Amino acid sequence: MSVEPVPDSPAAVVDCDDERALVVADFHAGIEVGLRREGVELDSRADERREQLLGLLDRTTSGRLVFLGDLGHAIGNPWDDERQEVDELLAAVTERVPVTLVKGNHDGDIEARVEKFEDVTLTPGHGTRLGSVGFAHGHTWPSPDVLDADILCSAHEHPVVKLEDEVGGGRVERVWLRGDCNTTPFEEFHDRKIDGPNELVVFPAFNDLSGGTWVNVDGQEFLSPFLPDALADGQAYLLDGTRLGRYDTV
């Protein structure tokens, strides 16, 4: 049982007891339409995202694909470009492996997109378990059953760090956040003892256009209701595997 990030990719291979799953978070299909409405002109990268994901499936020889929430981008009624991207993506993926989609806050109308695919399982927003691993998007509190898993995989936060060099140059990089899980916030919310998880892993966004929470910048507030309290001593890792140390001291 483990969560192993794929080197140089915003994806991980997760050992769910007797099944090996490729897990990605915050795909945000159709995001370019939303950005154009905000005045940012971008061509669609739908084909590029789909091929990247299919390549990861081939590279990792996984038996299942898990979308850890926000497969789509529009919170309300999706745009035509988003519908087309989701349909073409799921058609291509389900030719290879079954799919589990953990519903996120941007997936309000996703039922209409997935009902035509027999090999897609849609879970509630409070998450699901595959073996001893719990999966929840992170926009709301995971259920007690999900929290009783040994490892909790979460998303929604799109964690990034701002890095500066010695001459004042800077860049923003997507990161993984992971560490021992503090169950106190979950126990207080559910008013019951929580037997797990031992580890909490917050996934970076798959879509590099989706922005994120600058976890090492003062004044940035987390989006998830259980962060940062549930990951008080969490470590940050770049996509290439470089360990940066505690996320709030990078």
CATH code where residue 46 lies:
3.60.21
Domain count, the chain: 1
Sequence-distant (6+) residues with CB within 8 A of 139 are 69, 104, 105, 125, 156, 223, 224
Distances from the Cα of 189 to the Cα of 12, 129, 184, 193, 199, angstroms:
29, 19, 9, 10, 19
Rounded Cα distance, 210 and 32, in Å: 10
Q: Which tens digits make up the pLDDT trace of 214-242?
A: 998 888 889 999 999 999 889 999 999 99
Greatest extent of the chain over all pairs of C-alpha atoms, in Å: 55
The predicted pLDDT at position 49 comes to 95
The predicted pLDDT at position 128 comes to 97
Domain containing residue 173 = 3-249
Q: What is the pTM of this model?
A: 0.93
Question: What band does 168 get if pLDDT is binned at 50, 70 and 90?
Answer: low
Rounded Cα distance, 196 and 184, in Å: 11
Is 24's pLDDT higher than 90?
yes
DSSP 8-state code for residue 69: S
Q: Which tens digits make up the pLDDT trace of 25-61?
A: 999 988 887 777 777 778 888 899 999 999 999 999 9
30: phi then psi, degrees, rounded to nearest 5: 80, 15
Q: Which tens digits make up the pLDDT trace of 104-124?
A: 987 877 888 888 899 999 999
